[in-house]
Structures are given as C-alpha cells and as structure tokens.
Structure 1
C-alpha cells in the first residue's frame, strides 16, 4: 500500500532513557505508550478511518480504548484519515497529524493533512487542515519533530516528485501554516513511510522501499534534508511490510521496530535490537506481542503513568477479551459455524473472536465465555467438544459452560481453563478445534502448550 512517512526518535541510549524526538527535551519519566491507528479487516468489515487509540505498559501488548471505536473523526477534506501520528509538543500537550484519505482510493490527491491539538489525548481541539504543497500529488503519512537548529517543527511526509515517491519536509511553528516543501530523502526509487530515531547524537531514518515492500535503515549526523545514507540491508518478515515505527523500552536498553502489512489483512510484525547503530534487528514471535484489534499503520509515543491512567479512565478498556493460543500465537479462539476453534488473525467476521468473560454460570468463582456477536450463546463442551450454544437455563448447560482459570501449563503468566464438571479436563486445541481433554503435570509438552492461552485484548 502506498502510504506514510513517520518521524519519531529516541533521546538517550541508556536503560530507562525517555524516548523523545529529535531536538526535544526529555519530559517526565515515561511508564507506558499510546498508539494511534485506524482500522481495517480482510473483507473491510472493520474499516473505520477515524482516530483510534490504544495504550500499553510494556510497548508490546496493547489495550484498545473506547471499545476500539474512533475517538475523533475528520470532518474536512476526504472526511477520513490514515496513518495517524502523535507528537508531544515543546510547550506541552500533543499534536495529532494524519493523512487526508478516506479509504483506499490511491488516486485521491490531497495537498493537505489533518491536524488536531490535544492537551492530554482525552480531548481533541482546533481541528484543521494544513496545506503542505501545491503539487498534483498526495501528502501521505505525516509526522513531525522539533528541529532545534531552526527553532521550528519539521513535518515529513511522502509525495511524488521526479516520477516516484520521496520524503518531503515543511517547517512550521504552529501547524497552521508551513514553509514551502523540499525533498528530505530520495534514494532514487519509490520511498515512503520514514521513521526517525536519534541515539547518541546520530539520527537514523528507517523507511519502506516501496518497490519490494521491505524496510531499510539510513543515518546522518544531522537532520538536514539530503544528508541521510543507507546503512542496513533489507528488513522484512518474508512478506510485504511497511510503516516502520521505532520505540524504545522504558525499562531496558531495547528498541522495538513495528511494521505493518500493506494489505487490509492488517497484521503487525515487531523486531527488536539493543544496538540501533549496528542495524541488525531480530524478528519477534507473535507470542511476544498483541496488536490492537484490526489496527493499521501505528503511530506510537511514550506517555507517563498518569497520562495512561487518565486516558484509560476517559475512554475505558474493552468490555470484551480476545484469547490467544500459546503455541500458535498468531491464532485466536473464535467460533465458526458454532464450533469453537483457533484461527489465524486477522479474519472476518472479526467479532467471532470477541468474548465477554462473565462469572461462571455454575459457579461465580469460575468464568463463562459469552459471544459478543451472539450474546445469548456461550462456549460450552458437548461430548468433550467446545461448541457455541444458546443458554437453555439448565444446570447441565451451566456446568458445561463454566471453567476455572489456572496458571498456564506451558507458562504460568498465561492461563489454562479447567472444566467445572470434568475437573481433570482442560480446554485445549487439537487440529485447531477446541475440546476438553485430561491434562496434568505429567502430560506431554505439546498437550500443555495446546492447553495454554493468553486472555487479553
């Protein structure tokens, strides 16, 4: 997909160093992260081109806010956004920037970007369009940073000039008006989706090579347009990827780089490194992270614990959960034709993977899993197979639909679900279909992994 240019950065390299953008003074201690995104799903059933927010304590596992609904929606231009980005401003508060594009009509040529101000990521004010050029081309994936040498913010985005996408830059003091555009980075081929980090005085730009859908890293001793040169080989997960977004752990000397698939199949990948200068990134397995439901093209910024608490209080955590398989962590518990199973994310109907975890129907100390899109139906076992059935109010149904949460057999930080009325049997998957089987400490490693899940979002 043809999209955006990112700009974020790390201030210091040591453990616990605050992640800041180039030229920005470190603020209070950061204990969490906020992510901005929009949503799509394979059949586009989840397509929503408003501003969505999620929060995370560790920068890996995310909690969507506002029930994964938009918290702000553009009303100008195309009346839709892609590729939202959050910048903490010099004087406090935030600015949110986004591509002016409602959907996937890549022929839409907007010379503008969406802009909101926000004091706290709980209210969004001063909504406007910012014109960044007068060319017959788009302005995709805007991001910004403070350029101390100029005393202005740099706004970077991708646009076509010379027959291919390059990264363009404008300078502004207020995100109301901006200077004339100039080329920031042009490798000589289609380049989009740039993201910057600054470590020990060196600036690193990662971008998408749009000719083969891989990521590349560049670096420069300055932030001057035209000063960056490539220093890494191509980075990819074996399929098309875009939208690099680099953040630093708030508690360790570790950087994470997120990437998004280019299609509506909305799948994130995550790499890590302890040495950005070395340019070598290790791809994490799906077990290590969980993206917000149906999220696309993230924009991530560090926040304080107070800011994260305030955002969660304002918007609320989801009233539903998703349940991830331990040994097939790209798969989630869902119902399909009333059969309980695990399928690879993403899929539609996406609601099939959403569960309301309620007190157990047979014992409130346990739990029952009620379907979100069929709220009269629960996951229960029948002849040891898990199925989705309507509650008939009988004691047998209540017992079949009640489970006790226990420390995960394969990982005590995860969860295993023990049957209420067959207490030696646990929920597990077999050939991707759910059932209850006897599992114990003497069971095989495979059986233990099959019976281990993560109940999260």
Structure 2
C-alpha cells in the first residue's frame, strides 16, 4: 500500500473480543508456495506511472516461467475491474484455495485518496484466472474511521479456515496487521489484531509451514522486515530479520523458486511510479537477503503492489491463450539494467525506468524493411516512424519509402555480444557496426572492447 495517512484521527471501535482458536496438527505450505504440479507463476497487480498516464485500478495479470522475467497479459490492460465500493482496487492478491480454484482479494480504493475508509475488500472467485465470477464486497470488521488495506490470505489448517490479513489502525493510533477468519470468502468472523509490535506496520505477507515455522513479512519505516512464529496464533509473531529496502520500499512478496532452494523477496518502491526490486535467500530462518542483479528480473510495465502465486504449465499456456502475449517489446540495457531503449525528442537513447510517456519505450519488432530476415523497430506511439541510423546516430523517423531509409532501419538480431542469452543488433548496411549506447545515446559503432560489447547488448522482453 502506498503512502500511509497520519493515523492520529483514527479510533478502534467494535472490535470482536473472540479468543483465538489454537492451531493443531501439521502446518501446510500456504500462499506463495508450490503444489507438486506447479512449474510457472502468475502475478496480479494494478498500474501507475510517473504522471499517472498509466494509472489503472483494475486487476492486471502477468505470467512467468521463472518468477523473475514477467510477461504482462491482455496488452497490460485489466482483465476485470471492480464495480462496487470505490469502483477501483489497489494491492490485489491471488491464492489457490484448498479446492484447487483461485480467489482474488484487493483493497477497496481507487487512486490515492488515503483518507477514504472502507470495512470491505473486493473479492472474485476464479476456476482458472481466465474468467472471474461471484464478484462481491467482503466485510472484514466493524471498526470505524479506519481502513482495510492490502488484504492477503493463508490457509490455517488447525482452524480449518482461511485467515485474511489486512492493515488497520488500532486504539494507539498506529497501523497494525489484523486477521479475520473465513471458510468461504463470503462472510468473516473473529476480527482481531494479528501482529502489533508497538509501531506502524502494514502490508503483511504470510509464508506458512517452512520447517515448522511461519513467516510474516511486512513494511516498517519504508523497509521490509520479517516476523516469525511456530504457530499461527494472533499475537505470536516476533520480528527477527534484517530490514531490506531500496529507497522507500513496501508491499513485500515472498516466493519460493520452483527449481532451486532459493527464495525471492519482492518489494515495491514507496512512490506512485513504483519500481520493483528483488532480493534472494536460501534460508528463510537466517533472515538475511542479498539484492538480485536487475539483469535477472523485469517487472510488468508500470506494475504496482503485486502478489505472486505458482501455477501449472497448463494454466500458464491457457492464460496466454486466453489473454494474449504483448504485441510489443521493451529493450533493457545489459550494463545499465535500470535503463530501457526509448525515443525522446525523436532521438534514440536509454533512460532509467520509470518515465512518461511510457509508450516511448514500446517497440514492435517487425520484419526488416530491407530484408525480412532482419528486424526493424516500429514505434508503438508513432507507428509511422522507425528507429534508423543517420550519421551513425539512431533516431525515430517517418518511413519515406526509400531504399535508403529501409536499409538504415534494418538490423540483424544476433546473440548478445556480452551475453549470448541476450541480443545484439548488427546494422544491415554497415555490417561492421552494431546498435550501442554511448553516454546513453544510441548509435551504430564498430564493437571491439568489453565495454563496447556490453553497450551493444540488450534484453528483448516486456
């Protein structure tokens, strides 16, 4: 959840006094971890951008085969949008329920009206994330003058119920993480404080039953911090991990690799134009995380406050078939992986993401204008214009139909000169020259040194 309002005006009324039930039996692996058949991932999110050009408060989907490189679906448009409450969402969450179907939860808030309070959250059911049914508002508590932010859920086997975690303000005037229990995501019971360390915390993310321990990651003072407990009882969690952040960071999401013993911790920057960062650990119990190289991961364009859940390969294939892969690509710089190829003032350059207008970085890689075995870069927001070189500098020009323009705008895609899993682009009519950046400007040059090879290497993604 993005900026917390000052909580001093809020009061804690109508809190149920129900005593927590005691969890019994073995704890099952919960939200964010895998079933045996899972081999891919789905992400849910909403979108914002630096000038709010891409502010969209519907439910967005992306998929990944490795949990690091993400492909937005439905052309990065929402697949469903709330119609009740605020008629918009933030902080969506997806979980596979015990019956194998999915439930989607989200904050009832459109935009950034942080003073809007709601006792409800948005809920959808879905058999396969290709259709969404049973849309409803779900009431979580009877408190007044407080919110229900960043809902997430987990299965509590001992109670035989799902716990819904969310952030609200307690009688001391600071945010705590609450829990309300449900069997069907249609009614809730026993709302109570789940985690209150005595200071402001929001954005709870639960991982259940890892070597007998449950982990609750959350936001504290714009950092991501873990708490843990050997039970799922409210009040039993204690903070233990070393905080991580990249600037101000929120919205932690912990995900287990499906192919290794690695765990990933995702976080979202504390701004409307959020950027995701990722950390890695091979031991949740250690509570320490190492920042991942940004070359290794790419978030969906303009995505904010995500949740990630494993899916099967069939579900992955069916989601792509239903919603479609993007009709465009983005190109990430190898040696400046926070920067993407864009046009600005019709000049080609690499620039740090995020920026607006964001379509400046979207390209259609079409068959080469001079040779269909090559590629040409057609602008998404200026579709009559293509990247071409002129005096060796790359710029975005309108296709004048000449053979010279076609040759200048055609490149051969090769294995990346610095990393063969990435790509480089050799000029059609100057075959000893490659697209590279120099002082962030794009041009075609001969490439000889290690630095030049890195300058000429790009990742074609989304």
TM-score (norm. length: structure 2)? 0.93
Q: Measure, in 2, the Cα distance between the counterparts of 1:257 and 1:142.
A: 18
Deviation at 1:216, TM superposition (A): 1.0
Q: Measure, in 2, the Cα distance between the counterparts of 1:20 and 1:343.
A: 41
* Range 58-67 or range 188-197, more displaced: 188-197
1:89 equivalent in structure 2: 97
Call closer, same or farther: CA 1:122–1:378 in 2, change over 3 Å: same
Q: Secondary structure at the match of 1:180?
A: strand
Aligned with residue 256 of structure 1, among 248, 252, 264:
264
Deviation at 1:444, TM superposition (A): 1.1
- 1:349 lines up with 2:354 in the alignment: no
1:206 equivalent in structure 2: 217
Contact 1:99/1:139, CA 8 A, preserved across alignment: yes
Deviation at 1:230, TM superposition (A): 1.1
Q: Measure, in 1, the Cα distance between the counterparts of 2:204 and 2:81.
A: 25
2:295 equivalent in structure 1: 287
Aligned with residue 397 of structure 1, among 405, 408, 422:
405
- 1:108 lines up with 2:153 in the alignment: no
Deviation at 1:20, TM superposition (A): 4.1
Q: How does 1:44-443 map to 2 (within 5 A)?
A: 44-135=52-143, 136-162=145-171, 163-198=173-208, 199-209=210-220, 212-237=221-246, 239-439=247-447, 443=448
2:459 equivalent in structure 1: 454
Deviation at 1:26, TM superposition (A): 6.4
Contact 1:132/1:180, CA 8 A, preserved across alignment: no
The number of residue pairs the alignment matches comes to 435
Contact 2:178/2:194, CA 8 A, preserved across alignment: yes
Q: Mind listing any 5+ residue stretches in structure 2 that lack a counterpart?
A: 5-27
Residue-by-residue CA offset, 1:231-269 (whole Å, 9 max, x unaligned): 1122112x1000110001100000000000011121000
Q: Secondary structure at the match of 1:270?
A: strand
Runs of 4+ residues deviating >3 angstroms: 24-28
Q: Measure, in 2, the Cα distance between the counterparts of 1:27 and 1:290.
A: 25
TM-score (norm. length: structure 1)? 0.94
Residue-by-residue CA offset, 1:52-78 (whole Å, 9 max, x unaligned): 000000000000000000000000000
Q: Measure, in 1, the Cα distance between the counterparts of 2:142 and 2:388.
A: 60
State the superposition RMSD in angstroms. 1.3
Deviation at 1:25, TM superposition (A): 10
Contact 2:154/2:206, CA 8 A, preserved across alignment: no
Call closer, same or farther: CA 1:190–1:168 in 2, change over 3 Å: same
Q: Secondary structure at the match of 2:189?
A: coil
2:449 equivalent in structure 1: 444
Q: Measure, in 1, the Cα distance between the counterparts of 2:273 and 2:217.
A: 23
Q: Measure, in 2, the Cα distance between the counterparts of 1:232 and 1:338.
A: 47
Q: Measure, in 2, the Cα distance between the counterparts of 1:56 and 1:266.
A: 20
Q: Measure, in 1, the Cα distance between the counterparts of 2:349 and 2:124.
A: 42
Q: Measure, in 2, the Cα distance between the counterparts of 1:25 and 1:155.
A: 17
Contact 2:33/2:256, CA 8 A, preserved across alignment: no
Residue-by-residue CA offset, 1:377-411 (whole Å, 9 max, x unaligned): 00000000000000000000000000000011100
Q: Measure, in 2, the Cα distance between the counterparts of 1:25 and 1:35.
A: 13
Contact 2:33/2:310, CA 8 A, preserved across alignment: no
